A = this chain, B = another copy of it.
């Protein structure tokens, strides 16, 4: 490839500066995923970006699924380790949930990766953070599991839909607004006799605020927990 093949490494550095490492691979994977979406992560593209061959990557990473989960975990860890202002457990729960929403909004592929790695480290990080607040809130032991898994399921559900929306829009070359607009048109054209609700609510689709709706859902669950604690 290069004409002047013999580039004398002057220094006696411990390792090649540009040597591979799990960390460098994961960083490159994140960059690829952010730039080109879920389908942008390939061992070939990764090798190209890291100036090596596909085979070399397998020395540091078992397979693609592990790599994707590791990339996902890096983002989730960053979001879940962010310091939070001291506040009531409920306010903290809202902040945790919003942190995940924003992380998935910035990296839609994380929503999809999270959905495909149930019970793995990334999900456990979220579970842990939520669970600690539930204990501060005084949720009785026998209701801990159902409560934490309800919150987690909701967060993963919204995240997964956001990821799918982003991927769908990208596949059709649309931005979010145009994608929602075309969806609203499709819904509007549904038979009002068969789909009275969907066709009547279609026009609200393009103008709604995902983030606000997400938070409203969290508040709905928190309100339900509160009324359970009192009743």
Contact = CB atoms under 8 A, between A and B. Distances in A.
A165 interface: yes
A106 interface: no
Nearest to A168: B118
Interface size class of A (residues with CB under 8 A): 35 or more
B217 A153 contact: yes
Contact of A132 (B116, B152, B197, B212): B197
Given A128-B198, A224-B224, A149 B117 contact: no
B225 A227 contact: no
Nearest to A133: B197
- How many monomers of this protein are in the complex? 2
A122 interface: no
A223 interface: yes
A64 to B, nearest CB: 13
Contact of A119 (B153, B183, B223, B227): B183
A131 B221 CA distance: 19
Contacts of A217: 146, 149-150, 153-154, 221
A145 B224 contact: no
A197 B131 contact: yes
Given A124-B187, A145-B213, A224-B227, A117 B164 contact: yes
Contacts of A187: 119, 124
Given A155-B157, A220-B228, A201 B131 contact: yes
Given A119-B168, A132-B197, A145-B208, 13 more contacts: A119-B183, A119-B186, A119-B187, A124-B190, A127-B197, A127-B198, A131-B198, A145-B204, A146-B216, A150-B217, A150-B220, A221-B221, A221-B224
